[in-house]
Structure 1
Amino acid sequence: MSRLPRPLAGSRWARLWRIVVMAAMFCSLCQSAFAQADDRAASLRDKYQSLTQQLAQNQFQRPLYLESQELPSALSGDIYGVVKYPFALVNDTLNHPTQGPANWCDVLILHLNIKYCHASTSANGTVLAVNIGKKTEESLSSSYRVQFNYHPAASTSDYFRVELSAATGPLSTKDYRIVLEAIPVGDNRTFIHLTYAYGYGTAGRLAMKAYLATIGSDKVGFSTTRDPSTNETQYIGGVRGLVERNTMRYYLAIEAYLGALSSPPNGRLDKRLTDWFSATEQYPRQLHEVSRADYMQMKHNEYQRQQSAQ
């Protein structure tokens, strides 16, 4: 009986064997990724079904549900909402491997505190250089730069997930995450889930306490609680109110960006800015900060600045 040749090191059989093993490992990883995407899509569909009543009737006057969480050293806000745009459009706009990062920069710059955003790609992946600062106009040198890694985590015919993450931020904040996932829900509508979260250390905790004790003392979020002394319902304040306001600002930025895509290219910026500001003014108790004229002027200047790497 003849023997099969042994796959000696350096031989053609050894190289072929390595290729077979690597291909099997790759297929296994692909199957695992697809299974994970299927599980997440199913979970998001279940969430959509469970929120039917809240999406139909709520304080926001739009199909939206918001929740937040405060942990000893971390904050998170989650918004679930329905946008009136086809899933394919939302996916191709915000989860595109090449155009997605630049589109995200155009989304993020709508937020008052985002002063600059520029996307770049290297062998190590795609990074968004984001400057965070005051709610008024300022130089980049006065703001703080955060490097977000851009990661399109999943993309199938009925589910996508994109993740932006940064290890560090200003004032000892850390572990920043902006995560968007979505599924189609029929009639050219898309159900999206946005998460905005970050952690903080001692310096960050002290800075937030100082802010909330001074200029942020009258700021509130969207969730409500009952005052045990008066039995009256009131909006939450503190750090949960802080994270809810910012989560809402990012969600409204996504809505405004998608809504401007149907406008002529030279009119999209003004459309985005106008729609974002108008949407925030629907919730003046939580989100009003500056006048429309000041916002428009500041954002036009910041948008021009972000057209080149700085």
Structure 2
Amino acid sequence: MMALVGVCPDLFAEESGNAARLRDKYASLAEPLSHNPFRRQLYLKSTESDSTLTGDIYAVVDYPFASVNGTLNDPVQGPANWCDVLILHLNVKYCHASASGNSARLTVNLGRKVEEKLSSSYRVQFNYRAVATGPEYFQVNLDADTGPMSTRDYRIVLEATSITATRTFLHLTYSYSYGATGRIAMKTYLATLGHGKVGFTTARDPSSGQAEYIGGVRGLTERNTMRYYLAIDSYLGTLSVPSDKRLDQRLAKWFDATEQYSRQLHEVDRDAYMSMKHNEYPRQQVMQ
């Protein structure tokens, strides 16, 4: 059979291989996806090395792959759509997408969980890359060299494949690295503002013998990974809503979803969150 002109067989093979790999992962997680404390088809894990923290979420969403791919992996609107996703997170105070040639960048400001001026927040420059795209599989990477509290090597990676005509399997990775200065800054945060906060994974307490939620830097990573995942899900859940009503519905869906896990994620009341985000959203429409 004659090969199609301009089409690289290796790319088809790579895409099919990635789709098969992700579907194999879906099959291997059948039990934890169906039986878990999240009340949705979701599996979360976190890892900590000497200098890197990573959170991974695998989840089934009730949206067709073409819809997910067409919004979060769109070559033109994808970066701006990602800004609409990220701004839902409490700590994201600003996000603006810009393009230069074949590359795109997201200018993101991270700050506190209350309303504040951009000058009081920390600016992070994410490079946006569509690593793979096709009818069965896609992967998008957001990478930043530096972050707040002397952290570095930030990565937000989303890959997805279809599992039925109306359902998609997602894998979200959120990770960053830190050195000695970053370690001290995070310990200070966890001893003050972050004191008593926990993640989702449980571990047996050696003193009591009881299963307890983990805290520390892994708990911090799990909370942020979940917040970013819920932002993606809330964004996808409002694509069919009239454009003038999407922001309100995205904000409401994100807040309501986080309140399902209030032990880990509750920070502010609903009115404060809605008011803060309504004030933050307009300023991301232009470069600040």
TM above 0.5 = yes
- Check whether the contact 2:16–2:136 (CA below 8 A) recurs between aligned residues: no
Q: Which residue of 1 aligns with 2:285?
A: 307
- Kindly provide the CA deviation profile for residues 212-232 of structure 1, in whole angstroms up to 9, marking residues without a partner as x: 111211000000001122110
Deviations 1:148-186 (A, max 9, x none): 000011111111101100111122211100000001111
Task: Please give the alpha-carbon distance, in whole angstroms, between the structure 2 residues aligned to 1:42 and 1:193.
Answer: 13
- SS of the counterpart of 1:68? strand
**Offset of residue 124 of structure 1:** 6.1
Match runs of 1:1-310 below 5 Å: 30-123=8-101, 125-310=103-288
In the alignment, structure 2 segments of 5+ residues that lack a partner are none
Deviation at 1:93, TM superposition (A): 0.6
Aligned residues: 284
- State the identity as a percent: 65
Structure with greater helix percent: 1
> How many angstroms apart in 2 are the aligned matches of 1:255 and 1:293?
21
Q: Distance in 2 between matches of 1:91 and 1:29?
A: 20
For residue 3 of structure 1, what is the aligned residue in structure 2? none
Equivalent AA in structure 2 for residue 186 of structure 1: T
Q: Distance in 1 between the 2:230 and 2:274 partners? A: 16
Q: Give the aligned residue type for 1:156.
A: G
Give secondary structure in 1 for the equivalent of 2:133: strand
CA distance in structure 1 between the aligned counterparts of 2:43 and 2:8, rounded to whole angstroms: 33
**d(CA) in 1 for partners of 2:101 and 2:67?**
28
User: Structure 1 residue 307: deviation in Å?
Assistant: 1.0
Q: How far off is 1:34 after superposition?
A: 4.0
Unaligned runs of 5+ in 1: 1-26
Q: Do the aligned residues in 1 keep the contact of 2:15 with 2:136 (CA within 8 Å)?
A: no
Pick the structure with greater CA Rg.
Answer: 1
Q: Which amino acid aligns with 2:95?
A: C
Residue 60 to residue 109, structure 1, CA distance change in 2 (3 Å): same
Quote the RMSD (CA, aligned, Å).
Answer: 1.5
For residues 28-54 of structure 1, the C-alpha deviation after alignment (integer angstroms, 9 at most, x for no partner) is 995554443333222111100001111
Alpha-carbon shift at residue 308 of structure 1 (Å): 0.9
State the Cα distance separating 1:57 from its structure 2 match: 1.1
Using a 3 Å threshold, how does the CA distance of structure 1 residues 38 and 133 change in structure 2: closer, same or farther?
same
Distance 1:30 1:238 in 2: 47
